Structure 1
Amino acid sequence: MSGYTHPETLVDTSWVADHLQDPNVRLIEADEDILLYEIGHIPGAVKLDWHVDVQDLVSRDFVDKEGFERLMSRWGISNDTTIVLYGDKNNWYAAYSFWLFTQYGHKSLKILNGGRAKWEAEGRPYTKEVPHYAPATYHAQDADESIRAFRDQVAAGLKDPNRRLIDVRSPQEYSGELLHMVNYPQEGAQRGGHIPGAKNIPWATAANSDGTFKSVEELRQIYEDKDITPDKDVVTYCRIGERSAHTWFVLTQLLGYPQVRNYDGSWTEWGSLVRAPIEKP
């Protein structure tokens, strides 16, 4: 973790193991595969189901401030609790959760570097026991949407010479060859391709084979080689915002880029917009 701008936002497996009984630490598992938690999870961890827990019931949006407060209270989390997020797929949804929780102003947020894969590879314990915590009092701030991009903002910046778009999807999705990912038909769009001017830097290029984040030197080279530099206004996107939140985390927390927003509408929105410009090779 040497050299990261905010090394305090990452913890390793040993740190988590040492804090399993710490009442001021709450582990939250956020997976792409929502059945993994029931198969086994880190002792004391609660389950965040992205399909239910943080979604508005009517519009395509997140829970509002009051809904977020109820969720934190239900898990026994107060404003002073240290939250450690982890999950599968190299922490896709853990990073997505970090991004959302940041909007509502939670201060002590961390990600388990390497997620489930690292914990499992080291043979550390899992449990099927679901913890129950006494409700806590939680006060969220109004959502800080300065780290969130919306479609009109993306469209308005297409000709901005200081704007940089990062498409973190696979090259096949970026080219339009793959209209929707296998097993993810709900993330499809009417058209394939990418937003004009977007650079294709797949999210996984930032991760090592064990799921941990690459060194600061490696990360800088990945992005600076594509002219993604700290002085630029950067917007990340994928299909629904979870993979691009992983890149948002890398740029803001590990490399310290000051102007990065995650476009969570992403390709499921842009690829179905009437008359929205699309590029293909």
Structure 2
Amino acid sequence: MSWKIKIAVLTILFWSCKEHRASDTLASYGDYVIEANELMALIEHPNIKILDFRKNNLYNKGHIAKAINISRDDIEDGSYPYSGVMARKSQIEELFSKLGINSDDTVIVYDDSGMCEASRLWWILQNYNFKNIKLLNGGFLSWVDINGETSTENPVIKPTNFKFPANSLMNYYISKEELLEVQKSNVIIIDTRTLDEYSGKHQKHGASKAGRIPNSIHVDWADNIYFNGDKRLKPIEEIRKNYDKLDLKNTDFIILYCHSGVRSAHTTFVLTQLLGFKNVKNYDGSWVEWSYHNDLPVDIDML
């Protein structure tokens, strides 16, 4: 992030915290979350690029002014026989170049699904060592709520030559092969899907079979947001209670998965950035990949 944007953010934080100390602000959610009023103060900065991660038809009906629409397909590697695998580094570089994003820009991403889609992009960029990203708490509706400027026009894009830093961190990533290596060791596996998916009662489209990875524990990702409300993050202490029952230590080796690594990317963000866990990995292929391979073990409840 450029020093000018950092100064602008710190200034906004000071006044935001001064006026709203009883509420959750960017300061309480860490460096990667931005509130709508904070975005409004920064939106004209030339190094701010805004990505709309909603369905294209919703984007066309109205979006944050200057936002560019992207889809999940844009950040997936389509070479696999199943969907959901993280896009290659070169693929994201090509995408960002086409979107007019520079390597020193700050990317603001929003969705309408409780930061779920946005968190998947955050997770990918973290693995490729790009830190200049912020997630809009409350998504598009939070922008509408403060009467932020919206548009139905596509912004004019000037292509760039976006490049990630040379060293990829892959610090929140784990593959199927790596998961198999550590599965029987002292590792905690958390399934972040719905209870019906976890039990095997519901087989979501894209999975080859119903069930779960053996020895996994269920904690629904949606418990961390007001899922049936404005889809904002819950207060951190309330989020923490969702995991207190697991008696976790912040150094425990935790592996997360869901259907295709999207909801579990959200929980990766929650555990690492909000709750301070140090050793968290998101299984990229998740259940879609695991269920595809008939030689891998599966647990399912007797329904």
TM-score, length basis structure 2: 0.83
Query: For residues 140 and 219 of structure 1, do their structure 2 counterparts lie closer, same or farther at Cα, with a shift above 3 Å needed?
Result: same
Structure 1, residues 69-117: CA drift from partner, whole Å, max 9, x if none?
2222222222221111110111211000011111222122110011123
How far is the alpha carbon of 1:63 from its aligned partner?
A: 3.4
Match of 1:55 in 2: 76
Match of 1:165 in 2: 189
Match of 1:138 in 2: 162
Deviates more, 1:236-245 or 1:137-146: 137-146
Query: For residues 179 and 104 of structure 1, do their structure 2 counterparts lie closer, same or farther at Cα, with a shift above 3 Å needed?
Result: same
1:73 aligns with 2:97: yes
Summarize the alignment of residues 166-181 of structure 1 with structure 2, pairs less than 5 Å apart: 166-180=190-204
1:148 aligns with 2:166: no
CA distance in 1, matches of 2:27, 2:253: 20
CA distance in 2, matches of 1:16, 1:48: 19
Match of 1:64 in 2: 88
Summarize the alignment of residues 188-207 of structure 1 with structure 2, pairs less than 5 Å apart: 188-190=207-209, 192-207=210-225
CA distance in 1, matches of 2:79, 2:212: 28
Q: Number of paired residues?
A: 272
CA distance in 2, matches of 1:227, 1:273: 32
Match of 2:35 in 1: 12
CA distance in 2, matches of 1:46, 1:17: 16
CA distance in 2, matches of 1:12, 1:124: 12
CA distance in 2, matches of 1:68, 1:85: 15
**Percent identity over paired residues:** 29
Match of 1:117 in 2: 141
TM-score, length basis structure 1: 0.89
- Decide which of 80, 85, 106 is 2:130's aligned counterpart: 106
Contact 1:30/1:97 (<8 A) preserved? no
Query: For residues 65 and 7 of structure 1, do their structure 2 counterparts lie closer, same or farther at Cα, with a shift above 3 Å needed?
Result: same
1:224 aligns with 2:247: no
Query: For residues 213 and 25 of structure 1, do their structure 2 counterparts lie closer, same or farther at Cα, with a shift above 3 Å needed?
Result: same
Match of 2:276 in 1: 256
Deviates more, 1:263-272 or 1:244-253: 263-272
Match of 1:233 in 2: 253
Q: Which amino acid aligns with 1:234?
A: I
CA distance in 1, matches of 2:277, 2:190: 14
1:46 aligns with 2:68: yes
- Structure 1 SS opposite 2:44: coil
Contact 1:27/1:83 (<8 A) preserved? yes
Structure 1, residues 221-253: CA drift from partner, whole Å, max 9, x if none?
211212333121111111111111111111111
Contact 2:37/2:146 (<8 A) preserved? no
